[in-house]
Amino acid sequence: MADLTDATAADRRSALRALFHPRSIALVGATDNSRWSSNTYHNLRQGGFPGPVHLVHPVREIVHGVPAVRRLSDIAEPPDLVYVMVPTTAVMSVMEEAAELHIRNAVVLTAGYGEVGEEGVRRQMALQTFADAHAITVLGPNGNGFINAPAGIVPYGLPITPPLRSGPIGVMLQSGALASTAVSFVRQHAMGLSLLCSMGNEMQITATDVMDYLVHDPQTRVIALFLESIRDPRRFLRVAREALAAQKPVVVLKVGQTAVSRRTALLHTGALVGDDAVNDAAFRSAGVIRVRSFEDLMVTAGFLGYYGAPPGPRAGVITASGGASEILADRAAAEGVELPDFSAATRARLTELLPSFGSAHNPLDVTGYVVVDGSLTERALGIAVDDPAFDFLLTFLSVPTEGNENSRLKAQWEALAAIAARSPHPVYPATQTLQDIPQEGAGWADVLHLRPLGGIEHGMSALGHALWWREIAHRPPTDNAAPTVRGASPEGFPAGVLGEQAARGLLQSWGLPLVPSQLAHSATEAVQAAAQFGGPVALKAAADGLLHKTDVGGVRLNLRGPTEVAAAYQDIVQHVTAARPDAVLGGVVVSPMRSGGTELLVSVTRDPSWGPVLTVATGGVLVEVLQDRALRLLPVTAAEVRRMLAELRGQALLEGVRGGEAADMNQLALVIADIAATALGFGPRLLALEVNPLYVSGRVIEILDALMVFEEEDPQAGGR
């Protein structure tokens, strides 16, 4: 495999498997004067690496208290992996010697490459060219390494406090320092790692490569990612969807927000769609769980790694604190966790168990009587687990403290484990706050298979994320089938903004529903058109390049009678000509007024990273003010559009308020899906298609106004 970047996915995984499972390691540049060196050596030894660790130093005969060699060639059998921490100017000579010895794997800790400017970029390109040509798989440069916990292989440059715990959580970080935090977190919360990888500059091995490896790694059941950037968005989505198909959750903490692309900022949509909002839409489209804190990243990943997703949203909660019950109830409502009451039979049994001042309702507070009867919580839980009203049970437990007699507490853990083992529903233990679990408690967790959720706040977030992921992962295949892309074409249209009248013709030719209209070139023609429509009409300036007609006096609404229509025509011409002398006014569009109903914005814009993005928002011309929108990457199905509509705060308007007629939501979803499919058909020359407003009243769904923006040539980048 001469070039990892051109290899097949299977070849990439094979190369990474060899990198992450070396039988022998050489630390090149090992020295007592470097903490990087001493950290890496001690991590390997404390982690229990079973193979030889060779220390390479050009002068020193003893390093870290053991004999060292001067060159890689002095090692009797070439190592499987070289960990390079020499000065930047010496890295290439190390790589050349590794190539001569047919060493195929390297971690380059050394910095001074793409992260430092043009000279560093040239240096990195030379290193990559050499590595590709000699079939050397390189992690880094400027990267701390990796941790293969099950195998005890820890070539990592920052200190890792033992013991190293293995488990189902695969972690990929675009950060070196956070790795120590991640390792500490899983150790302190009775969790374990399958693999942790710090990416460095991603010269050759990318974050998506590691994610793909973890999707196919049998020891990994959940993937946790800390991302600063996504280098290949389309491949990232492809791998994320493979993870979803494999029922392996991906949890992402994505940082960094940038301004919206200038190409979409011209439109109403530009005030709604920022890069970070598109990231949300991209992750959602692939079933990727996005979190907002490092604690949520690890707690959510830990929960899914050890328990998987709950079978449903209905929770029964047993606590010994009324306050905790109230906090949890509020958080449950925010996370989509339902709290149905106990069945009559369960309530009767609990009433017999509780003191007279207790109340048998969900969430259940067994009261402070637990001070008298320490088994009250476990006995109440034992009753509640048999209630068919619940999909899972949640209860709180205490963790042991260092240096104290914990036998009574251990008995409570054992009682909880026994109840969980016989329960027909999953039983999830939790701590009330995000507490550390000392090694004694971690031992209990391993033996009893109890992994406490870290606190009410992060624990309920984890449950909410897990329930969302389960709904995505268990959707019928028909819900995820890609719709047919309409065969539209942008040929013949100049670059820039295509105004309403021209856009109407295109959209109508593809069968989209538009409000009737006529183009008038004089006040007389406008009056005649209005008479044909009857009732009040709207007049709008028809000019390509005119984005916001209202802002330049190009719109008049609710006009009645010939006098009002004629005056409005003249007024529009005068205002538009004065405000935009560069605009070529092609007349005035006359259409019947639509009153009542609900106005939506439906827009497709092309994100430079992710490709076409559909936005649905409430408010019409007030859309920027309301900021009530849902986004998805294209293509979408009508079923997905229904879910978008359900996310809008303005969904209540569509359902009918104050006697208004409810919208036909199925028909509305089909129309929006057709708009999106039409936009896709125009290909990458279409930068934006904005329908604003889309009028909805019962079964009446009409495009009242639209415009399109075309690029000069096919950009070739960012398309899908």
Average pLDDT on 668-681 reads 94
Asked whether residue 112 is domain-assigned, the answer is yes
Domain shared by 396 and 434, yes or no:
yes
pLDDT at position 260 is 39
pLDDT at position 705 over 60:
yes
Q: CATH number, domain at 387?
A: 3.40.50.261
**Model pTM?**
0.89
Nearest to 453 by CA among 688, 296, 572: 296
Average pLDDT on 387-397 reads 96
Domain shared by 586 and 603, yes or no:
no
Residue with the larger pLDDT of the pair 274 and 668: 668
Number of domains composing the chain: 4
Hey, is 506 helix, strand or coil? helix
Asked whether residue 570 is domain-assigned, the answer is yes
Domain shared by 583 and 605, yes or no:
no
Sorting pLDDT into bands at 50, 70 and 90, what band is 483? low
In tens, the pLDDT along 91-149 reads 999 999 999 999 999 999 999 999 998 999 999 999 999 999 999 999 999 999 999 99
What number of other Cβ atoms are within 10 A of residue 650's Cβ? 18
Q: Computed from CA positions of residues 21, 24, 27, 32, in that sequence, does the dihedral angle turn out positive or negative?
A: positive
pLDDT at position 40 is 97
pLDDT at position 479 over 70:
no
Percentage of the chain exceeding pLDDT 70 = 92
Contact 547, 708 (CB under 8 A): no
Average pLDDT on 634-662 reads 87
- Domain span at residue 438 reads 309-473
Asked whether residue 51 is domain-assigned, the answer is yes
Contact 418, 427 (CB under 8 A): no
Sorting pLDDT into bands at 50, 70 and 90, what band is 712? confident
Hey, is 699 helix, strand or coil? coil
Residues facing residue 541 across a β-bridge:
588
pLDDT at position 494 is 73
Average pLDDT on 345-354 reads 95
Q: What secondary structure letter does DSSP report for 156?
A: B
pLDDT at position 58 over 80:
yes
Last residue of some domain: 179, 201, 220?
220
pLDDT at position 551 is 79
Contact 454, 295 (CB under 8 A): yes
Asked whether residue 73 is domain-assigned, the answer is yes
Residue with the larger pLDDT of the pair 17 and 277: 17
Q: CATH number, domain at 566?
A: 3.30.1490.20
Residue with the larger pLDDT of the pair 365 and 258: 365
pLDDT at position 262 is 36
Q: CATH number, domain at 209?
A: 3.40.50.720
Domain shared by 526 and 620, yes or no:
no
Last residue of some domain: 155, 188, 220?
220
pLDDT at position 2 over 70:
no
Asked whether residue 251 is domain-assigned, the answer is no
Domain shared by 535 and 603, yes or no:
no
Sorting pLDDT into bands at 50, 70 and 90, what band is 45? very high
pLDDT at position 277 is 87
pLDDT at position 626 is 75
In tens, the pLDDT along 560-601 reads 999 999 999 999 999 998 888 877 788 999 999 998 889 999
Domain shared by 464 and 610, yes or no:
no
Q: Could you tell me which residues come within 8 angstroms of residue 471 by beta carbon, excluding any fewer than 6 positions away?
A: none
Asked whether residue 511 is domain-assigned, the answer is no
In tens, the pLDDT along 492-543 reads 667 788 877 788 888 888 889 999 999 999 999 999 999 999 889 999 998 8
Mean residue pLDDT of the chain comes to: 90
Residue with the larger pLDDT of the pair 226 and 7: 226
Contact 101, 74 (CB under 8 A): no
Percentage of the chain exceeding pLDDT 90 = 73
Domain shared by 360 and 389, yes or no:
yes
Of 230-234, 332-336, 453-457, the poorest mean pLDDT is in 230-234
Nearest to 540 by CA among 551, 550, 528, 527: 550
In tens, the pLDDT along 686-704 reads 999 999 899 999 999 999 9
Domain shared by 602 and 586, yes or no:
no
In tens, the pLDDT along 428-445 reads 999 999 999 999 999 999
pLDDT at position 332 is 96
pLDDT at position 461 over 80:
yes
pLDDT at position 178 is 87
Q: CATH number, domain at 648?
A: 3.30.470.20
Residue type, 41: Y
Asked whether residue 270 is domain-assigned, the answer is no
Q: At what angle do helices 233-245 and 207-215 cross, to 10 degrees?
A: 10
3-state helix, strand, coil in the chain (%, to 5): 40, 20, 40
Cα–Cα distances in Å, from 102 out to 19, 24, 128, 129?
14, 14, 16, 16
- In the chain, DSSP finds a helix count (H) and a strand count (E) of 24, 29
Domain shared by 583 and 614, yes or no:
no
Average pLDDT on 616-637 reads 85
Domain shared by 319 and 458, yes or no:
yes
Asked whether residue 675 is domain-assigned, the answer is yes
- Omega within 30 of 0 (cis) for the link into 363: yes
Domain shared by 545 and 617, yes or no:
no
Last residue of some domain: 220, 241, 267?
220
Of 279-293, 592-606, 649-663, 667-681, the poorest mean pLDDT is in 649-663
Nearest to 301 by CA among 243, 385, 237, 229: 243
Domain shared by 314 and 349, yes or no:
yes
Sorting pLDDT into bands at 50, 70 and 90, what band is 659? low
Average pLDDT on 256-260 reads 52
Of 145-154, 333-342, 551-560, the poorest mean pLDDT is in 551-560
